[in-house]
C-alpha cells in the first residue's frame, strides 16, 4: 500500500521501463510502492507535517494558537535577522531516513520528493534560492551537494531561479553532531562568504536559504550573516526537516 506524498517521476518511456526493472521504493523505509517519490502508509502517517500555529518570526510550532503575530520567548528577547525557519516536516525517524538516503545513499531523485513537500512553505516574495554550500573537499568526495539538489528541484517547481555559486564554504569545518549549540556557532563562525559573482545577485534580493535538515541553526545563521552582510534584503531559511524538541508552550 502506498500514499501520494510527493511524486518525483521518472520521465517518459525510459522512466516507465526503469520502474519495471527497478520498482520504486518508499523514501522512508525502502518498501516497494506504486510510484517514484511516494511513501508507504506507515512512513507517511509517521511524518509530522509542520504547519501553523507557530511563532510569527522563527516559525517554531506552538502547542496552541496564540493569535496572529504571536512570538516565541526567544524571538521576543532576541529577534532574528532572518525571515523565519520553515520546514516541511519535523525531524524524526522517517525524515532522517529520507535525508540520509539522499545524502549518502546515492538517491539524488529524493531531492524532488523533499522539494514537493517544501513547496507549500515557499515565501511568495522570494526572488532567488541559494543552497547551503559544502566545502570543496567534501563536495569532491560526495559527488554532489544535497542542498543544491533540493534547491534545484524546488526552484523548478516554484519558478524561482537558483544560484549555487553565490555562497561558498571557504573553510572546512568538522561535523557538528557532537558539539553543543555554542560550540557549533564557534565552529562555523566565518566559514561562509558571498562570492564575487554572488555580490551582484544577492544585493537587494529576497533570498531563500535551502538545506536538508535544520538542527541548532548554527550553520544557517552563519550563512544568513554572510548574505545579509552582502546586502540581501531578506533571507528565509527553508529545510526539509527541522529538529523540534517540543512545541513551544
pLDDT digits (tens, 9 = 90+) for 41-75: 999 999 999 999 999 999 999 999 999 999 999 99
Cβ contacts of residue 160 below 8 Å, gap of 6+? Answer: 122, 126, 127, 128, 129, 154, 208
Supply the pLDDT for residue 10.
46
**Cα–Cα distance, 111 to 108 (Å, whole number):** 6
The pLDDT tens digits of the residues spanning 118-160 come to 999 999 999 999 999 999 998 888 889 999 999 999 999 999 9
Q: Which fold has domain 47-242?
A: Rossmann fold (3.40.50)
pLDDT averaged over the chain?
89
Q: Which residues belong to CATH 3.40.50 in the chain?
A: 47-242
Alpha-carbon dihedral of residues 100, 104, 109, 110, nearest 10 degrees?
A: 0
**Cα–Cα distance, 233 to 241 (Å, whole number):** 25
Residue 223 — pLDDT band, cuts 50, 70, 90?
Answer: very high
**Cα–Cα distance, 110 to 96 (Å, whole number):** 12
Alpha-carbon dihedral of residues 236, 241, 245, 246, nearest 10 degrees?
A: 80
The pLDDT tens digits of the residues spanning 77-89 come to 999 999 999 999 9
Classified as helix, coil or strand, 31 is coil
162 to 130, 151, 159: CA distances (angstroms): 6, 7, 9
**Cα–Cα distance, 239 to 137 (Å, whole number):** 23
**Cα–Cα distance, 87 to 117 (Å, whole number):** 9
The most confident of 35-39, 100-104, 242-246, by mean pLDDT = 100-104
Amino acid at each position: 500500500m502506498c500514499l501520494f506524498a510527493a511524486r518525483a517521476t521518472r520521465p517518459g518511456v525510459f522512466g516507465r521501463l526503469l520502474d519495471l526493472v527497478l520498482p520504486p521504493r518508499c523514501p522512508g523505509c525502502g518498501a516497494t510502492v506504486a510510484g517514484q517519490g511516494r511513501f508507504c502508509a506507515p512512513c507517511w502517517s509517521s511524518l509530522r507535517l509542520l504547519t501553523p500555529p507557530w511563532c510569527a518570526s522563527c516559525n517554531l510550532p506552538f502547542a496552541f494558537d496564540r493569535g496572529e503575530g504571536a512570538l516565541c520567548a526567544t524571538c521576543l528577547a532576541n529577534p532574528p535577522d532572518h525571515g523565519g525557519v520553515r520546514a516541511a516536516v519535523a525531524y524524526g525517524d522517517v525524515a532522517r531516513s529520507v535525508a540520509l538516503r539522499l545524502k549518502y545513499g546515492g538517491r539524488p531523485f529524493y531531492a524532488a520528493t523533499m522539494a514537493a513537500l517544501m513547496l507549500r512553505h515557499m515565501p511568495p516574495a522570494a526572488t532567488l534560492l541559494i543552497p547551503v554550500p559544502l566545502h570543496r573537499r567534501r563536495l569532491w568526495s560526495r559527488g554532489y551537494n544535497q542542498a543544491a539538489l533540493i534547491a534545484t528541484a524546488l526552484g523548478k517547481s516554484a519558478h524561482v531561479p537558483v544560484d549555487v555559486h553565490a555562497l561558498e564554504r571557504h573553510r572546512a569545518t568538522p561535523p557538528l553532531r557532537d558539539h553543543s549549540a555554542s560550540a557549533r556557532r564557534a565552529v562555523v563562525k566565518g566559514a561562509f562568504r558571498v562570492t564575487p559573482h554572488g555580490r551582484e545577485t544577492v544585493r537587494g534580493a529576497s533570498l531563500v536559504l535551502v538545506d536538508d535538515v535544520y538542527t541548532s541553526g548554527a550553520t544557517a545563521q552563519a550563512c544568513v550573516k554572510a548574505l545579509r552582510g552582502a546586502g540581501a534584503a531578506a533571507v528565509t531559511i527553508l529545510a526539509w526537516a527541522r529538529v523540534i524538541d517540543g512545541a513551544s508552550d
